[in-house]
Amino acid sequence: MKKTFSVLACIMALFLCVSGASAANWPAKNITVLVPLAAGGNTDGLARGLIVPALEKAFGVKALVKNVPGGALTLGAAEVANSKPDGYTLMVAPLGPVVLQTQLRTLPYGKDAFAPIYFIANSPSFLIATKDVPSSFDAMIADAKANPGKYVYGSTGPGTVPHINLIALCKQYGVEMKHVPDRSGAEVMKSMASGTTHFFADAGMYIPRYDLQGLVIFSDERHPDFPNIPSAKEIGSDQRFSVWNALYAPAGTPAEILDKIYDACKDLSKDPEAQKFVSGMGAHFIDMTRAEFTDFVNAEYDKFGGIIKEAGIKLE
Amino acid sequence: MDQAILEAFAQTTSWMCLLCIFVGTLWGIIVGALPGLGSVLAITICLPFTYALDPASAIALLLGCYCGSVYGGCISAILINTPGTPQSAATCFDGFPMAQQGKADLALGWATGSSVFGGLLSCIVLIVCGPQLAKFALNFGPVETFALILMALTCIASISKGSMPAGLLSGVLGLFLVTVGMDPVSGNMRFTFGYFKLSGGFELIAVVVGVFALTEVFARAAEFLNNKAPQVAYSGMRFAPWHEWKIRIGLLLKSSIIGSVVGILPGTGAATAAFISYAEAKRSSPRSAGMGQGEPDGLVASEAANNAVTGGALVPSLALGLPGDAVTAVMLATLVLHGITPGVRLMIDNPVAVYSAFIALIIANILMFFQGFAVAKFFARFLRIPEPLLMGMVVILCLLGTYGIRNSAFDLVVTLVFGIFGYILRVFGMPVAPLVIGMVLGTQLELSLRQGLLLSDGNFWAFFNGHPIALALFAMTAVLLCLPLIRYGLERRRAALGQAAPPEVEE
C-alpha cells in the first residue's frame, strides 16, 4: 500500500515536472485563436485587432485566427473544448456558446470545458425600437398590453441573447409579442427598416446608425453616449443584459500559461488605440482578474439558467 | 457634393489605391477560378491587410476582390464544368458544352465581355439611382423575398430538359438537404440523428465542389479508362465578331438589370440573380432551343447578371448600412474598423467614402477585362498538363478549398460523399445542377416562407393579400412555368393544322 502510494507520488511529481517544463517553454510554436463566427464581425475584429497583436507582441510567435462558424457558435466552441489544453488553442467568443447554449441544448461540451482568461469588452444591451413605437417605455408596454400580438420582435436566431432578452422582458411585463427571427444583426436591421419587426435587443450602436430609438438600457446606469435613455433600474425592471466577448482556453490548461496570456492582454484597456477600436464597436473595457472573470462567467450562467427555467425554454 | 466626388476621385486614383484594386481584382479572379475557394474566402484572406491600409484603399482592395471572384468563377465553370464559386453555377450550363465543342476561347470571351458589361452597368445604376433604389429594397419583406426566390427556382425547370421529373427530384433533394441542421425558427435540430457535427448543416460549397468538381473528375477518370476523353484545348481568350454581340445587346441589358435589381435586395445574392436571368433568357431568347448545349445566350445571361450584383449589393450596404451578402457584410465591418460608421447617415456624413467605393468598383471592372485575358492564358497552359495530373490537382485544390471555408474535416467527408453521390446520379442520367440550385436557394426560401407564416399566423393565403410586389412576382413565376406548356400546345396545334386533315385520334 505504502509502496503503491510512493510510486503514485513519484509519477505525479514527474507529471508535475513535465507539465511545469512544458508551461515554462510555452509558447514554442504558433498559437491558434479560434473564433466561432465568420470573419468580419465584432468578435472577429476583437480577435484580429486586439488579441492577436497582443499575443504576438508578448510571445514573439505567430497567432493565427481560425474561423469556425455554424451551429449558433457551438461548432467552434466544441472544437476548442475538445482540443488539447496546452495553451496553443484559445478562443475569442461572445457569451452565447459558453453560458447560454450550454443550458439550452445537449452539446458535446459544458460551461466548465473552458478556462476563462480575459474579459475583453462589454456592450450593454438596449431595447431598440423603430420610430413608430411609442417612445416612452411605459407607453409602449401599455400599448402592447392593449394590443396583444401587434408588435413583433426580431433576433439573430432562436436561443440567442437578443431572443432570451425579449422573452424575459415580455414575461416580466406580461405582454404578448410575436418573434420573427433573422440570422444576423444586419438582417434584423433590414427587417426593422422594412417594417416587419419593431423591437430588437442589442448594443446601442444600432440606434444612431439605423435611425432607431432606444427605450431602455438593460443596466444599472445610463450610458454616457445615450444620456436620454433610461436605465432598467430607473424604470424598476430587474432585467440586466449585455453582450460581452472574452478570451478562453480549454479547461485543464496549466495555470502558468493562463497567467502568461492574461498578463499579455491585461494592459489592452489602457492603450488609447485599443480603446478607440473598442468604442468604435459600441463597447468598452472592463478590467477583471482571472478569478473575477471566472466568477462572472458563473454568475452569468446562473442568470441565464434562471431565465431559461422560468420561461420553460428547451431546444432539442 | 461635387467637392466630394473630386476628393473621392483623387483618393481612388492614388497609386496605393490603384495598386490595391489591381491586386485585389487579380487575387479575386484567381481565387474565384479555383473550385472550392469562394468570394468570402478571398475577402477573408485580404482582411488582415485592410487593417494597415487607409479606408479608401482598404475598401478598394475588398471591392476588387469581390468583383474579381464573382467573375473568376466562370473560368473553371467553362473549362472544367465546375463553378469556381456557387455564383457561377449557371455558367456551366452553356459554358462547358461550348468548351467541349472546342470553343473554350470564345466562351471565355462571352463570359468576360458580359461580366464587364454587367459590372459597369450596375455601377451606373448605383450612381444614378442608388438611394431611391435602396428605399425600394425596403418594400421587400419576407413575403416578397419568398416570391422572388420561388421565381429563381423555376430555373430548375429551364435546365432540366430531357427529363423533367429527374430534374425536379434533384431540386427537391437540394431543398431537403438545407433543412439538415438547426431549424431557423424554433432552434431545434433537424435530421442530425444526434450527430453533433451535422448541427451546422451541410456547407454549400462543400456540396457544390462535391457534385460538380469531384463528379466531373470521376466521370473523366471513367472516360479516360475507356480512352474517349474529349480534351478541352484552347490557347487564350477570343471575342466573337461584333454582329454576334449586337444581336445579344438586349439580353445583355436585361440580364444586367436583373442582376442589379436582385443585388439591391438584401439576402438574395449573385447566384439567385444568375438563375433568374438564365430562366428569363430561356423563356424569351429566340435561340433558347440551343440553350444548355453551348449557346452564348446562356453565358451572357448568367455572367452579366451575377457580376451586376456586385454594384447592386453596394446600394443597400452604402445607402442604408444593410449588407446584401456575406461579402458586403465584411466590407461594412472594415469601414467600422476605420472609424467610418455605416448606416443611414453614411451618405451624408461620409460622402467621400461612398464615392470612392463607386469609383473603385468601376476601375475594378475595367481592370478585370484585361486581367481576364492574362488569367485565361495562364489557365490555358494549366490545362495542357496531362489530364490525370490535372484532375489530381483539381481534387487537391477542391479539398483544400473546402477545408478552408470553416476549417472542418467533416466538410471534406461531405465533399467526398457528395462527389460519389453526384457520380451515381450522373450515371443514372439525373442532373446534379438542380440539386445545387435547390441548396443555394433553399435556406432563404425556407426562412422567408416561415417568417411570412409567423407574421400571418400560419395563413398562407395572406401571402396573396396586400402584397402587390409579391403578387406580381408570383404571376411572373406562373408565366415562366406555364409558358413552355403553352408553347408546346401551340406548336402541336400548328403541326396539326399543317398536316392535311389529320386523322382524328380517339383517346
Q: What is the pLDDT of residues A266-297, one digit of tens each?
A: 999 999 999 988 988 889 999 999 999 999 99
User: Which sequence spans correspond to the domains of chain A?
Assistant: 27-123+243-311, 124-217
Q: What is the DSSP string of B350-373?
A: -HHHHHHHHHHHHHHHHHHHHHHH
User: Are the beta carbons of B205 and B468 closer than 8 angstroms?
Assistant: no
Domain of B353, in residue numbers: 2-230+239-491
- Give the gap in angstroms from C-alpha B504 to the nearest C-alpha of chain A: 58
The Cα of B397 is separated from the nearest Cα of chain A by a number of Å equal to 19
Query: A112-121, A246-255, B136-145, B228-237: which range is least confident on average?
Result: B228-237
The answer to whether residue A195 neighbours chain B at the CB level (below 8 Å) is yes
Residue B162 confidence (pLDDT): 65
- The mean pLDDT of B477-505, rounded to a whole number, is 74
User: Is B504 inside a domain boundary?
Assistant: no
Q: B286-308: per-residue pLDDT in tens?
A: 888 888 888 999 999 999 999 99
| pLDDT tens string B97-143 | 999 888 889 999 999 999 999 999 999 888 888 778 888 888 888 99
Give mean pLDDT, residues B216-226: 83
Per-residue pLDDT for B505 more than 50? Answer: no
Total domains in chain B come to 1
Closest residue of chain B to A197, computed from CA coordinates: B455
Query: With an 8 Å Cβ cutoff, is A269 touching chain B?
Result: no
Q: How far is B346 from chain A (nearest CA, A)?
A: 8
* Lowest-pLDDT choice from A3-12, A38-47, A147-156: A3-12
For chains A and B, CB pairs below 8 A equal 144
Which value, to the nearest 10 degrees, does the dihedral of the CA atoms of residues B297, B303, B309, B310 take? -150
Q: Collapse the DSSP code of A314 into the 3-class scheme (helix H, G, I; strand E, B; otherwise coil) and give the result.
A: coil
> pLDDT category, A22, cuts 50, 70, 90?
low
Residue B481: pLDDT above 90?
no
Model confidence at B502, in pLDDT bands (50, 70, 90)? very low
Band of residue A315 on the pLDDT scale cut at 50, 70, 90: confident
Chain B interface, mutation test: which of A75, A80, A206, most B Cβ atoms within 10 Å? A75
Contact of A178 with chain B, judged by CB distance below 8 Å, is answered with yes
Report the mean per-residue pLDDT for chain B.
Answer: 87
Query: Does B345 sit within 8 Å of A209, measured CB to CB?
Result: yes
CA distance A291 to chain B (A): 31
Mean pLDDT of B79-91: 86
- Percent of chain B past pLDDT 90, that is, above it, reads 36
Residue of A nearest to B410 (CA): A75
Partners of residue B40 in chain A, C-beta under 8 Å: 38-39
Summary count for chain A: helices (H), strands (E): 12, 10
Q: Inter-chain contact B185–A181, Cβ cutoff 8 Å?
A: yes
Report pLDDT for B122: 92
Which neighbouring-strand residues pair with A202? A126
B139: chain A residues, CB-CB within 8 Å:
194
Confidence category of residue B164, pLDDT binned at 50, 70, 90: confident
- Provide the pairing of β-strand A89-94 with A31-35: parallel
Three-state secondary structure string covering B396-416: HHHHHHHHHHHCCHHHHHHHH
Contacts of B357 (CB under 8 A, 6+ apart): B59, B63, B314, B318
| H helix runs in chain A, sequence order | 2-25, 42-46, 52-59, 74-81, 101-104, 137-146, 161-173, 185-193, 206-209, 255-265, 272-280, 290-311
pLDDT exceeds cutoff 70 at A20: no
Residue B257 has pLDDT above 90, yes or no: yes
Q: Which residue of B has its CA nearest to A44?
A: B333
Q: Which CATH class is domain A124-217?
A: alpha beta
CB A234 within 8 A of CB A210: no
* Chain B residues near residue A210 by CB distance under 8 angstroms: 320-321, 343-344
Higher pLDDT, B413 or A186: B413
Q: Report the alpha-carbon distance of residue A121 to residue B42 in Å, rounded.
A: 29
In a domain, B499, yes or no: no
- pTM flag (> 0.95): no
Structurally, at CATH architecture level, domain A27-123+243-311 sits in 3-Layer(aba) Sandwich (3.40)
Distance from CA of B365 to the nearest CA of A (A): 24
Which residue of chain B comes nearest to A49, CA vs CA? B51
Planar angle of CA B136, A183, B334, nearest 5 degrees: 75
B454/A189 CB distance under 8 A: no
Residue of B nearest to A179 (CA): B454
CB–CB contact A49 B343 (8 Å): no
Across the interface, whether the CB atoms of B407 and A68 are under 8 A apart is answered yes
Question: What pLDDT digit, counting tens, does each position of B313-351 carry?
Answer: 888 888 888 887 778 888 887 887 777 878 888 888 888
Nearest to B88 by CA among B73, B101, B100, B75: B73
The CA distance from B73 to B46, in Å, is 18
Select from B420, B435, B419 the least CA-distant residue to B160.
B435
Q: Is the model's pLDDT at A31 over the cut of 70?
A: yes
CA B400 – CA B407 distance, rounded (Å): 10
Of A71, A196, A280, the CB nearest to B200: A71
- pLDDT surpassing 50 at residue B273: yes
Over residues B350-370, the mean pLDDT reads: 91
Cβ-proximal residues to A57 (8 Å cutoff; 6+ apart), any chain? A264
- Cβ–Cβ of A179/B455 closer than 8 Å? no
Tell me if B346 sits within 8 A of B354, measured CB to CB: yes
Query: Of B196, B321, B326, which is closest to A108 when you measure between CB atoms?
Result: B196
Q: What is the pLDDT of residue B501?
A: 47
A180 touches chain B (CB under 8 A): yes
A211 and B142: CB-CB below 8 Å? no
Interface check A32 vs B, CB under 8 A = no
Of B315, B270, B338, which is closest to residue B70 (Cα–Cα)? B270
Cross-chain residue pair B138–A39, CB shorter than 8 Å = no
| Residue B411 counted as domain residue | yes
State which amino acid sits at residue B403.
Y
Asked if residue A204 lies in contact with residue A281, where contact means CB atoms within 8 angstroms, the answer is: no
Report which of residues B39 and A176 the model is more confident about.
Answer: A176
A34-38, B44-48, B113-117 — which is least confidently predicted?
B44-48
Cell matching residue B425: 446520379
Is A211 in contact with B141 (Cβ distance < 8 A)? no
Q: What whole-number distance in Å separates Cα of residue B400 and Cα of residue B396?
A: 6
Residue by residue, DSSP assigns B423-475 as HHHHHTT--SHHHHHHHHHHHHHHHHHHHHHHHTTT-GGGGGSS-HHHHHHHH
Q: What pLDDT, on a 0 to 100 scale, did the predictor assign at position B21?
A: 95
- Determine, for residues B343 and A210 on separate chains, whether the beta-carbon distance falls below 8 Å: yes
Looking at the DSSP bridge assignments, the partners of residue A116 are A248
Task: Answer whether residue A11 shows pLDDT above 80.
Answer: no
Across the range B389-411, mean pLDDT stands at 85
Nearest by Cα to A76 from A119, A109, A40: A109
Query: How many other C-beta atoms can be found within 10 angstroms of the C-beta atom of residue A310?
Result: 12
Range 64-93 of A in CB contact (< 8 A) with B: 66-72, 74-75, 78
Q: What is the pLDDT of residues A55-105, one digit of tens each?
A: 999 999 999 999 888 888 999 999 999 999 999 999 999 999 999 999 998
CA distance A95 to chain B (A): 18
**Which of A75, A183, A196 is nearest residue B200 as measured by Cβ atoms?**
A75
Judged by CB atoms closer than 8 Å, whether chains meet at B200 and A67 is answered as no
**CA distance, residue B151 to nearest chain A CA (Å):** 21
Please tell me the number of Cα atoms within 13 Å of B312 on its side-chain side. 29
